[in-house]
Amino acid sequence: MPVILYFYSLKKMNTLSSISSTKTEAMEKQQELELIKRISELVKQNKSLQEQVRKLTEENEKLFVQNEKNKSLLATLRTDGSAGKVEEAKALKFKMVTVLFAEILGFSEVSKCQNTKGVVDELDEILMHFDEIVKKYNIEKIKTIGDTYMCAGGIPIKNSTNPIDVIMAALEMQRFMENFQCKKEKVWNIRMGIHTGPVVASITGTKKVAYDIKGDTVNTASRIQSASQTGKVCISVMTYELVKEFFKCDFYGIMPVKYKDDMEIYIVNGIEADLSDKGENIIPNEKFRIKFLVRQLGDIQEIVLDRLEKELPPYLEYHNFKHTIDVVTQVELIGWGESVNDEDLLLLKTAGLFHDIGHIKGSKDHEEKGAEMVREILPKYHYTEAQINKICELIMATKIPPKPNNLLEKIICDSDLDYLGRSDFIPVSDALFRELKAQNLIGSFNDWNKMQIKFLSFHQFFTETARKLREVNKQMQIDRIQKLIVEE
């Protein structure tokens, strides 16, 4: 082949190769663009599907609630002989309930070795003891399904401590079964699952009220029980987050949940060491009890503030639920500043919450009336007699003129009159003037200003924390009011 043809051929081949390479790159680029486009479409489709699932879930929940109402309605259908009467169904929705399923294992094994009556008697003994335990922790027994015991905390009375209550009950059930095993040659056993969440409760009965609960929370608790380890108390991550400060928990595994993300499961291995007596992780100590009461205080606060808002006379523009919130906030602030311990801070906040509740029964001697109400109410919430006595003393210390005898009394007195040195002094004092005026206890606004000057001049903050926070502004208020007084 002539040299010139050779080079021509070689050049042609290179050109063709270059064209082929360019086409390949273009194809690859096109494929890449198509892939990106496809991924983008899939992402959009996925988002659309997620939105559909969300909407369907919401719709499903609404339908579930309506279905439960319809079931209850049918269950309460009564006839009087001639015409049918429909009694309105009672269905309630609870936002936070802790459900326990406890499957009692060993029935089939025991029945092989014993007569049926003996087996049933032993099972009844277990169930009766479980009834005593749930009653002890203010938990509602729902029903027994075969060998499975079902109960729930947080109904019919809503509270924030129900996850702790249910786990304490579960641990006591666990200990009972361990002792029962020793007596019965280790044949009986238990498997427990606990989950916290919303439920719908239907109410049946008149003389003896019974509750039935339904919803995802119930189904999830049942699934945890089925997947749990024999002899152990298994809880969902939702329950774990609510009780991890109280109990020693170990990660157990992941449980898939239909239409939802996978759920973490934990095993409860007893009470935290520093919260139990003798480090045995079984019996709660005083530190546990105080920690529990602090958690419970939120429930008491909701009840008390609701009563104050609904039952106080409308003319009490100063001594109302807003003032109570102020005092509870300030006792905590000053208490921290004065380095009081957890129990004393609990007592201060409880006293602040109840210090004006006596106004419901009458403004005269309302401190004594408030102390009486404390003695009626707080025993139901596990406060000791000594704690209740101290709370009543704190309430009485707020009586004007304040004469505190110890640090805690000084803190609550400073908190009660904290507004004297706050930036919102003017609107608060105006509210107090209107309150006194409505009761014919004060004359003109000029008289009121004279009274304020006299009171502010003799008043003193008792704690170092309050003096640092409020004394300067209090002196400014004295100077301001002094200029407003018209000498007659």
**Sequence-distant contacts of 55-58: CB under 8 A, at least 24 apart:** 57/259
State the pairing for strand pair 84-86/91-105: unpaired
pLDDT at 79: 40
Q: What is the arithmetic mean of pLDDT over 331-343?
A: 96
Q: What is the arithmetic mean of pLDDT over 20-40?
A: 64
pLDDT at 42: 55
pLDDT at 216: 92
Contact 97, 152 (CB under 8 A): yes
Round to whole Å and give the CA distance between 401 and 458: 10
pLDDT at 189: 85
Round to whole Å and give the CA distance between 178 and 170: 12
Low-confidence winner among 47-56, 158-167, 267-276, 388-397 (lowest mean pLDDT): 47-56
pLDDT at 202: 87
| Percent with pLDDT over 90 in the chain | 64
Q: What is the arithmetic mean of pLDDT over 88-96?
A: 78
Q: What is the arithmetic mean of pLDDT over 118-138?
A: 88
At 2, the pLDDT band (50, 70, 90 cuts) reads very low
Residue 6: pLDDT above 60? Answer: no
**Mean pLDDT across the chain:** 84
pLDDT at 15: 54
Round to whole Å and give the CA distance between 233 and 214: 22
Residue 220: pLDDT above 70? Answer: yes
pLDDT at 92: 86
Higher pLDDT, 34 or 459: 459
Low-confidence winner among 70-74, 84-88, 248-252, 393-397 (lowest mean pLDDT): 84-88
Q: What is the arithmetic mean of pLDDT over 210-239?
A: 92
Query: 81: which DSSP letter?
Result: S
Residue 3: pLDDT above 50? Answer: no
Residue 344: pLDDT above 50? Answer: yes
pLDDT at 240: 97
Low-confidence winner among 204-208, 241-245, 323-327, 403-407 (lowest mean pLDDT): 204-208
Contact 382, 354 (CB under 8 A): no
Q: What is the arithmetic mean of pLDDT over 214-239?
A: 93
Higher pLDDT, 388 or 2: 388
Residue 90: pLDDT above 90? Answer: no
At 86, the pLDDT band (50, 70, 90 cuts) reads very low
Higher pLDDT, 21 or 231: 231
pLDDT at 146: 81
Highest averaged pLDDT of the listed ranges 27-36, 80-89, 201-210, 335-344: 335-344
Residue 74: pLDDT above 60? Answer: no
pLDDT at 77: 47
Low-confidence winner among 69-73, 307-311, 313-317 (lowest mean pLDDT): 69-73
Strand partners, 77: 86
Residue 322: pLDDT above 90? Answer: yes
At 121, the pLDDT band (50, 70, 90 cuts) reads confident
Contact 281, 269 (CB under 8 A): yes
Residue 394: pLDDT above 60? Answer: yes
153: phi then psi, degrees, rounded to nearest 5: -105, 145
Nearest to 426 by CA among 445, 402, 406: 445
Residue 400: pLDDT above 70? Answer: yes
Residue 123: pLDDT above 50? Answer: yes
Helix (H) or strand (E) holding 28: helix 3-75
At 87, the pLDDT band (50, 70, 90 cuts) reads very low
Evaluate the CA torsion angle 355, 356, 357, 362 in order and state its sign: positive
pLDDT at 63: 58
Residue 104: pLDDT above 80? Answer: yes
Strands, E assignment, 53-113: 77-79, 84-86, 91-105
Q: What is the arithmetic mean of pLDDT over 17-44?
A: 62
Q: What is the arithmetic mean of pLDDT over 66-82?
A: 50
Evaluate the CA torsion angle 22, 28, 29, 34 in order and state its sign: positive
| Percent with pLDDT over 70 in the chain | 77
pLDDT at 188: 79
Residue 11: pLDDT above 60? Answer: no
Query: Tens digits of per-residue pLDDT, 240-298?
Result: 999 999 999 999 999 887 767 789 999 999 999 999 987 667 889 999 999 999 999 99
Residue 71: pLDDT above 60? Answer: no
Round to whole Å and give the CA distance between 30 and 35: 8
